Amino acid sequence: MTIISGIIQFINKLFTQPIRLGEITISVSLIITVIISLLAVILIARFFTNWLRDKLLVKWGFDEGSRDAIATICYYFVIALGFIIVPQACGLDIRSLSFLAGGLGIGIGLGFQGLVQNFVSGLILLIERPVKVGDYIEIDDLEGTIRKISIRAATILTNDGISIIVPNQTLVSGKIINWSYGNVNSRIHIQVPVAYGSDPVLVTEVLLAIARRESRVLSYPAPQVWLRSFGDSAINFELLVWIDQPKARLPIQSSLNYIIETELKKNNIIIPLPQRDLWIKNPEELRTIFNPHPVAVPASPQGQLSAIQTVEESEGLELESVNPLSLRDLLRKVVYFEQFTDLELLGLIEQGYRETIPSGEFIFHEGDPGDAFHIILSGSVEIISEKVNKHIRNLNPGDFFGELSLIMGIPRTAAVRTLETTILFVVDRNVFHYFLSSYPQLADQMAEKLVERKQELLERQQLLREMGILGEEEDLDNNPLVWVRKRMKSLFGI
């Protein structure tokens, strides 16, 4: 027992024996107590900030980036406060450590300069929040989503599922593209070179149709096609589409590229290879050099084509047979647009949009506002008088309907229902207003064409009076052109 008591006394004396370092008096037990207490502070800070981020701030409606920034700042604040209070509570006078802190500060500033810069940069990121947790960013050749911002570095999860640690200083001082900052909508630019001789209007029409086939492309803002430049071997177009999924930018672009390649082939639009033309000044001399003993080629029998001629003509016939009727040609079938130039039709094509209606659904009912006209690209529809429950007629690809209600701003006089799944090209009132604002001189042409359909105006004369559009004293028989022009001016502000 004496030996055991001696050992206990020795251990107790070892842990409680004061150790004097200048003006500081410490002991082993004090050091252990301070270390355990500081570890407890770290655990409490971590538990508190996790609860704050995952429970309280979620309940208050903060977004992911705000929750993470607030929780991180609170975490380091609690730890800093604990490192000040705990040593004093344990009996260690930290004021006596001021000289030591000064020396350590110089050493840290010189030896850990990069660490301090990252520390300060981390505070800037957490307070100013130029980037935050959940943002999709691009920095140099790196793209990914920010998963965590600590006081020293940020963790970025790439599209390949790889977590990359990036120092905070890089995020503060480097050039960063933040696809999620503010408005998440972003625009994709796709270069499309086509061969010289291609129809620019057809190319524009095809590219716009392609953009609307990709479901992840936004309808508003509408896709656009630019003719960027005339290159050495190609006319360079550019398709511009808006998306609201920055992370899916590359997959969407890949999907569009696949569709572009397919549709350009279908419409006989060629993507050319870089080429150079070689002109020979005296080809006869070269022929004698390379073929000093020419062989006579037997003439083809009369009425029989050579192999080359047969291939060329058969290919030409095939191309002509598969070439579909373009939207520009369909628009020219509309009487109001038949005198439009290609550029004017291009403006209308750029602003309109395609819409797919399932079989058996009504496109509009009798009495609905006349807010759009439609051209049937595929499928078929039937026109119905709902008041008398009577079938009027069917319309097929290339036919159009609803234009009079749009131009005159009157309700629909009949209903239209699809007989099968139908794809329509739609020009609504907003598009029509924009188009006439861009080409105000065309309003007179359209008014003249509308007056040529005087019988239809006279049939709607009573409806116009009931709506208050046509006064009792006004008569469409007298001067319909003047009245139509006034009506279009009041509707579309031209």
Assigned token pair, 273 = 């290879």
More confident of the two residues 318 and 373? 373
Cβ proximity of 320 and 381 under 8 Å:
no
177/219 Cα distance (integer angstroms): 24
Cβ proximity of 158 and 136 under 8 Å:
no
To which residue do tokens 């408005």 refer?
183
CB atoms within 10 A of CB 172: 19
| Of the candidates 128, 122, 34, the residue with the CA atom closest to the CA atom of residue 75 | 122
Assigned token pair, 428 = 């609504």
- Picking from 99-103, 290-294, 340-344, which range would have the lowest pLDDT averaged per residue? 99-103
Residues 372-408 pLDDT 10s: 889 898 899 999 988 888 898 899 988 888 887 887 7
CB atoms within 10 A of CB 201: 18
What's the rounded mean pLDDT across residues 410-425? 90
To which residue do tokens 């929040």 refer?
129
More confident of the two residues 429 and 307? 429
* Torsion angle (degrees, nearest 10) of CA 56, 59, 60, 65: 80
327/427 Cα distance (integer angstroms): 12
Residues 35-83 pLDDT 10s: 888 888 888 888 888 888 888 888 887 776 677 777 877 887 888 888 7
What's the rounded mean pLDDT across residues 319-330? 58
* Torsion angle (degrees, nearest 10) of CA 327, 328, 329, 332: 120
Given pLDDT bands bounded at 50, 70 and 90, which one contains residue 302? Answer: very low
Q: What is the DSSP letter of 426?
A: E
What's the rounded mean pLDDT across residues 104-125? 64
Sheet strands side by side (includes 186-194): 186-194, 235-243, 224-230
- Please give the pLDDT value at position 394: 93
More confident of the two residues 270 and 310? 270
Using the predicted structure, report yes or no on whether residue 186 has a pLDDT greater than 90. no
Give the rounded distance of the alpha carbon of 195 from its chain centre.
Answer: 28
450/457 Cα distance (integer angstroms): 8
Assigned token pair, 7 = 């050992």
Q: What is the DSSP letter of 325?
A: P
Long-range interactions of 107-115: CB distance < 8 A, separation 24+: 114/167, 114/169, 115/152
- Please give the pLDDT value at position 310: 35
DSSP 33-73: HHHHHHHHHHHHHHHHHHHIIIIIHHHTT--HHHHHHHHHH
Using the predicted structure, report yes or no on whether residue 125 has a pLDDT greater than 70. yes
- Burial (CB count within 10 angstroms: exposed 0-12, middle 13-18, buried 19+), residue 94: middle
- Please give the pLDDT value at position 315: 34
Give the start-to-end residue ranges of the domains of the chain.
9-92, 135-178, 186-267, 327-492
445/340 Cα distance (integer angstroms): 9
Sheet strands side by side (includes 422-428): 353-357, 422-428, 372-378, 400-401
Cβ proximity of 402 and 381 under 8 Å:
no
- State the pairing for strand pair 24-26/224-230: unpaired
Given pLDDT bands bounded at 50, 70 and 90, which one contains residue 241? Answer: very high
What mean pLDDT, rounded, does the chain reach? 76
